Amino acid sequence: MTKLLAGIKVKDPAVDGNGAQLAFAQLQEQSSTIDICDARGRNLESITPAAGPEGRLWAFAPHYSDDGQQIVYLTDRLKQPSNPQNLQPNDLAVFGQDLAGGPARRLVVPVPYTGGDSDPALRPGANEQLLYTTYLYGGAPPEPVARLTWMSLRTGVRVYLSPDGARNFESAFSPDGHFVVFVRADAGSDDLYVMPLAASFSREPRPAPSDTASLLQAGTVSQPVWAPDGSAIAYLMLVKGSFDLFILPIATDPAGAIHATGPARAVTHGSFLDADSRLAWSP
C-alpha cells in the first residue's frame, strides 16, 4: 500500500487507461476542484476553477475516457447567483473536457432542486456515449428517484435505462463496454446488479434494461468498479457498521451472462471507508 498526495483532502479518484495519470476531487473549506497528477502524485494541476463569477464552485467524480483524451465530471459551474431572498438552484451538472485543450462544456442540464446528476462515465470503445444517474422527483406525492440514463454526445439523444420510480445509481462500465454494474435501492438494502447494454439506443427500451438485470451481491453495497481485465468487481459493503472493501470474482458464461465465480473476498476489516467516494482500479 502506497500513500499519495499527503497533506490535502481528496475523494473520487480516477485512473486513466494506462495507469499513468490520476484525477480526483481536491476538497477545500467551501469549494472543490478536479485535479490531475502523475501516478506518483507529482505534477499536480487543477483543471477546474475553485471560484468564478458564480461564487465558490464544487466539482466531483472525474472519469477518464478509455483513450485518456477526455474527462467528464460533476460541477455546479454556471449556476445562477443566489441569496436567502432569491434562492436559485445550484445542482451539480455533468461537464466534459478535452484534456488536450479547449474549454469545458456542460453536457447535461440537471433537474432543478434535486442536487443534480451523478456517476458520469464515458463508454469504453464508444466515447461519444455517456452514462450517468438522473435525479428527479416522481410519483404522488412526489418522492426522489434515481434513473440510469444513456446519452449520445453526438446526437443529444437521451434515454432512461431504468423505470420511473426506480432508485438505481452508481453505475460502472465493464472494460469492454458491454455490461454495466449498478446499485439498486430497495427497502432496507442497496444491492449490486449487472445488466448487458445494447450498442446504442434511439428510444427508451422496453422492458428497461435495469428490470432484467441479474443480482450479484445483496446487502448495502456502494461504489462498484470493474477490474481492468474484467475478472472481478470491487465495491464497498456495510458489515457490522463499517464500510469495507470487497472483491467479487466474476466470469461470462457461454450464454453471455455475467455471474460470480466464488464468494466476495473482504480486503479490509473494520476500516470505515468513505462510501461516498468513488473507487478506482489501476491497470
Predicted local confidence at residue 213, as pLDDT: 96
Q: Output the nine-digit C-alpha cell for 11.
A: 475523494
Residue 263: CB partners within 8 Å, gap ≥ 6? 248
How far is it, in rounded angstroms, from Cα 152 to Cα 82? Answer: 32
Neighbours of 20 (CB within 10 A): 13
Predicted local confidence at residue 101, as pLDDT: 86
Query: Longest Cα pair distance anywhere in the chain, in angstroms?
Result: 61
User: Are 277 and 223 contacting, i.e. CB atoms less than 8 angstroms apart?
Assistant: yes
User: Are 11 and 223 contacting, i.e. CB atoms less than 8 angstroms apart?
Assistant: no
How far is it, in rounded angstroms, from Cα 275 to Cα 242? Answer: 10
φ/ψ of residue 211, rounded to 5: -70, -25
Predicted local confidence at residue 191, as pLDDT: 98
Predicted local confidence at residue 153, as pLDDT: 96
Residue 180: CB partners within 8 Å, gap ≥ 6? 131, 148, 161, 171, 172, 173, 174, 194, 195, 197, 209
3-class DSSP state of 23: strand
- The domain ranges of the chain are 9-224
CATH code: domain 9-224 is 2.120.10.30
Predicted local confidence at residue 203, as pLDDT: 92
pLDDT tens, per residue, the chain with 283 residues: 667 777 889 999 999 999 999 999 999 999 999 999 998 888 999 999 999 998 899 999 999 999 999 999 999 999 887 777 777 788 999 999 999 888 999 999 999 989 999 999 999 999 999 999 999 988 778 888 999 999 999 999 999 999 988 899 999 999 999 999 999 998 889 999 999 999 999 999 999 999 999 999 999 999 999 999 999 999 999 999 999 999 999 999 888 889 999 999 999 999 999 999 999 998 8
Q: Rg (Cα) of the chain, in Å, rounded?
A: 18
pTM beyond 0.75: the answer is yes
